[in-house]
Amino acid sequence: MSSTSSRYREIIQLSAPIAGIQFAQVALTTVDLLMMGLLGLGAVAAGGLGLLLYNQLRTMGVGMVTGVGNLVAGAAGRAEKRGGSSAIDAAGREDIRDLVRASLLIATVTGLVAGLLLVALGHLLPFLGQDAGVVALARPIMWALAPGLLPMLWMNVLRQFAVGLRRPGSLLAVTLVSIGVNALLNAVFIYGWLGLPKLGLAGIGLSTTLVQLWTFAVYLRMIRRDAAMREFLALDAWRARRETVTRIVRMGTPISLTYGSEAAITSIASLFMGTFGPVALAASNVVNQLAYIVYQANIGLSQGTSILVSRALARGERNEIGRIALQALTISLSLMSAIGLVYILVPEVVLLPFLGERGDGAVLAVASTLLWFAVAHQIFKGSQNICVGLLRGVGNTKAGLTNTLIGYWLIGIPAMALCAHGTGWGAYGVWFGLCLGFAATSLLLWLRFTVELRRLAVAHARGEGVPTA
């Protein structure tokens, strides 16, 4: 019993700081959405759409460097095994520095490309069936958000580096300050305080970009002051080895596409919702942001357990993998169910911060119903993300992409179209199809994970090394 409790604590201790950094990122866009309510329903619809597309590209960019944590954990685990202790030898230290250099280079290129794509998407919105007024409001905030993708990705590289060394640290204080600073800057740019021009929605995007830059600088300073990590830190990205860059890109591309596929189905759902008018789109944006906030806990669990699995494999502790998976899933289901109960019991309280006391009654009615779908959404989406992390931990990054393509594109998106228009369920049919896509993907991924466990067991019985995916 004590051993089980110890493993639960280890998962939570590693996952919680990761989730905390995720919450710091999402807190920025959540505050943005809250502040958009001050500008009216149109701003919530347009700004929420801009944030959704920003999160789409942000998520895919993060996916490109997510595997770095596993690679760092593997390098550290092998070094520990060589030395027979927790110390990392000189070869291990250089391996880790090499990984950091390469991942910073990849993050820089990815951030530049993603920023250009976000600007381009702003010009494509009219061709995606969006209202002309929504498009006119959405473009400026998308332009202002684009530069913030660079410091955001640099910060994620540092996070993966720290997590791989099992020293993720705490950004609670930074998170709280960044939320306050972002809200203040939003107000400054919205209303033109301190003699600045009134920028409206563009000002909200600009404040988020500035806070992203500040958060990266603070986290970098924290790592540099940590004696246990600074000797592994290498910021000279221009010295990255081509072989290491290629290795990370090959690992990161399926992860990025998996994350992108996951974000894309939500973006497509929002585009579907936009065809039912600003009320449906605004309600969906609010509920989606709520679910996105809660989802960060599952991202923390996914990445934390993934690192633990990579380390267990590197140390030859294969029997721990199944236990780690079961405990992570138990934590996720318990947390998602508890939060879902709050949605069902007090929907007005949950929605009040986004819609205000004088919020549009029609939006409130639609959003209250969508909260029921959000419960299933959170459980299925969280479960599948944890499984993607576990598969990444055992070296299989392709299974996540393959199964999400089936679950989302062959099941989820057709189900959204059919349930929204074929059955006459309208906006609610979109969310029903969305949940169906996540449920199918979760089932497929867990079935694949059981296959991987059996494959590892067979390899172990034959005395072979870790099988490659």
* Tens digits of residue pLDDT in 359-379: 567 788 888 889 999 899 889
Distances in whole angstroms, Cα of residue 442 to Cα of each of 322, 338, 405, 453: 17, 20, 12, 17
**Region of poorest pLDDT, from 59-63, 117-121, 171-175, 394-398:** 171-175
Please give the angle made by the CA atoms of 447, 451 and 453, to the nearest 5 degrees: 115
Please check whether residue 468 lies inside any domain of the structure. Answer: no
List, for residues 217-229, the tens digit of each pLDDT value. Answer: 988 888 888 887 8
Q: Is 105 left (phi over 0), alpha (psi -120 to 50) or beta?
A: alpha
**pLDDT at site 110:** 95
**pLDDT at site 156:** 87
Alpha-carbon distance 150 to 155, whole Å? Answer: 9
Please check whether residue 411 lies inside any domain of the structure. Answer: yes
Query: In this prediction, what percent of the chain has a pLDDT beyond 70?
Result: 89
Query: In this prediction, what percent of the chain has a pLDDT beyond 90?
Result: 20
Quote the domain boundaries for residue 378.
Answer: 2-461
Alpha-carbon distance 113 to 146, whole Å? Answer: 10
Please check whether residue 466 lies inside any domain of the structure. Answer: no
Please check whether residue 467 lies inside any domain of the structure. Answer: no
> Identity (one letter) of the amino acid at 298?
N
Please check whether residue 231 lies inside any domain of the structure. Answer: yes
Q: How does DSSP assign 272-287, residue by residue? A: HHHTT-HHHHHHHHHH
> Quick check: 94 pLDDT over 60?
yes
Please check whether residue 469 lies inside any domain of the structure. Answer: no
Domain count, the chain: 1
CB atoms within 10 A of CB 19: 21
Neighbouring residues of 3: CB distance < 8 A, sequence distance ≥ 6: none
Give pairs for 279-283: CB < 8 Å, separation 24+: 279/41, 279/360, 279/362, 279/363, 279/366, 280/366, 280/426, 280/427, 281/45, 281/48, 281/49, 281/134, 282/41, 282/44, 282/45, 282/48, 282/360, 282/363, 283/363, 283/364, 283/366, 283/367, 283/370, 283/427
pTM above 0.75, yes or no: no
Arithmetic mean of pLDDT over the chain: 82
> Quick check: 358 pLDDT over 50?
no
Alpha-carbon distance 436 to 418, whole Å? Answer: 12
Q: Bigger pLDDT: 352 or 143? A: 143
Please check whether residue 309 lies inside any domain of the structure. Answer: yes
Please give the angle made by the CA atoms of 231, 233 and 239, to the nearest 5 degrees: 120
List, for residues 384-407, the tens digit of each pLDDT value. Answer: 989 988 898 888 888 888 898 899
List, for residues 297-334, the tens digit of each pLDDT value. Answer: 888 888 888 888 887 777 777 777 888 888 888 888 98
Q: Tokens for 58, please give them.
A: 């942000």
Q: Which of 452, 317, 451 is nearest to 394 (CA)?
A: 452
Q: How does DSSP assign 357-386, residue by residue? A: TT--HHHHHHHHHHHHHHHHHHHHHHHHHH
**pLDDT at site 139:** 85
Residue 255 burial by CB count (10 A; 0-12/13-18/19+): exposed, middle or buried? Answer: buried
Averaged pLDDT, 121-147: 81
